[in-house]
Amino acid sequence: MPILAGREVGPIGFGMMGLTWAAEPVPEEQAFATLKAALANGMNFWNGGEFYGPPERNSLVLLERYFARYPEDADQVVLSIKGGVDVGEHAHVADGSPENTRRSLDQCIAQLKGRKKIDIFEFGRRDERVPLSVTFGIIEKEYVQTGKIGGISLSEVRAETIHEAVKITKIVSVEVELSLFSREILENGVAAACAQHGIPVIAYSPVGRGFLAGRYQTIEDVKPALRSWPWFQPGHFEANLRLARRVEELAVRKGVAPAQLAINWACRVASWRRGGVPETIIPIPGATTAARVRENARVVEISDEEMAFIDGVIAGFTASGNRYPDHVPTNT
């Protein structure tokens, strides 16, 4: 079993964003059933966010209500929460100032009402305006050392940020995008930096924002909120569908669902590459139903020969378009 923040976790975690960050969030009872299914299927690492939805309906509010009903589950879950963004006029802009760092952490802790400790806290993005030593100094001294939270993670960072951060504090994980669609961290030094410092990678969007789950046939199948993103623009969308079709063919060949192949490929990369990649990579697919959780949680064995075949197939394909719109910071 992988070790994260000093505790055993399942090889596949659970991303909570879709439960609350939506124009019409799923009903609370459905969200509870989804979370319960995640835990029952070994996905005991949960990744949520202060800004995953409005303050009255974000991950922390949902979690507080869940653990109020199921207090026995709290100790079984390893919880990571993203915060550190400005929630005021410039919402969703990273703000690593001392004032906002304390505000974010205090608010996240308060929203849980003591029902669950935050095991890992991460800024959603690095704030280039504030030295890491200032931001992390506050988190380490005032929150980690006092036992208010368990540890510190990084999110959507470049290799240089990882090398800098480990000189300031212990980094328990690095959350970055990794999928058959987004393999950049294997080449841009991020995976190598994590390997050098023995830091587990948390792989978000392992099913390529739905492409690798076999969901899309036309643009009408895409959630409206995503249709303006580069991958879904005319020209890019059709090119990306071609790559998705190849993944579907590989899944059929393997006898599994496309999402299962994509998720387990991310799990397997560490042992397959054997160098320049951290020992632990934990994909965190999201889901809004218990049925989807059960599908995503299935551990599928992929042999070296199968990994080699998959690598050969995808080597000639690169996702068309940038991962995010221009206004969203990446590789911070």
pLDDT band at 205 (very low <50, low <70, confident <90, very high): very high
pLDDT at 88: 62
| Residue 27 DSSP symbol | P
Q: How far apart are the first and last CA of the chain?
A: 30
Q: Which residues does residue 281 pair with via DSSP β-bridges, in sequence order?
A: 201
pLDDT band at 23 (very low <50, low <70, confident <90, very high): confident
Distances (CA, A) of 299 to 15, 146, 181, 205, 263: 17, 37, 20, 17, 9
Distances (CA, A) of 234 to 156, 240, 241, 323, 327: 26, 10, 11, 15, 20
Task: Tell me the pLDDT tens digit for each residue of 285-325.
Answer: 999 999 999 999 999 999 999 999 998 888 888 889 999 99
Name the percent of the chain in helix, strand, coil, to the closest 5. Answer: 45, 15, 40
Q: What is the mean pLDDT of the chain?
A: 94
Distances (CA, A) of 44 to 12, 49, 177, 181, 202: 8, 16, 20, 25, 13
Token couple for 293: 């959780």
Cβ neighbourhood burial of 115 (10 Å; 0-12, 13-18, 19+): middle
pLDDT at 299: 96
134 CA to centre of own chain:
25
In terms of Cα–Cα distance, which of 227, 248, 232, 259 is closest to 320? 232
Task: Tell me the pLDDT tens digit for each residue of 74-118.
Answer: 999 999 999 998 766 556 789 999 999 999 999 999 999 999 999
In terms of Cα–Cα distance, which of 246, 237, 173, 175 is closest to 209? 237
pLDDT at 35: 98
User: Measured between alpha carbons, how far is 70 from 50 in angstroms, rounded to an integer?
Assistant: 21
Q: Active site residue: 52, 66, 204, 216, which one?
A: 52
User: Measured between alpha carbons, how far is 112 from 249 in angstroms, rounded to an integer?
Assistant: 44
Lowest mean pLDDT among 64-68, 135-139, 227-231: 227-231
Contact of 46 with 38, CB cutoff 8 Å: yes
Q: Specify the CATH number for 3-208+263-289; select among 3.40.50.1820, 1.10.10.10, 3.30.70.140, 3.20.20.100.
A: 3.20.20.100
Share of the chain above pLDDT 70, in %: 98
Query: Cα dihedral sign for 202, 203, 209, 214?
Result: negative
278 CA to centre of own chain:
16
pLDDT at 258 over 80: yes
Contact of 113 with 106, CB cutoff 8 Å: no
pLDDT at 283: 98
Question: Could you state, in order of their start, the residue ranges of all structural domains in the chain?
Answer: 3-208+263-289
The model carries a pTM of: 0.95
User: Active-site residue 52, yes or no?
Assistant: yes
Number of C-beta neighbours around residue 18 at 10 A: 18
Lowest mean pLDDT among 24-28, 172-176, 188-192, 274-278: 274-278
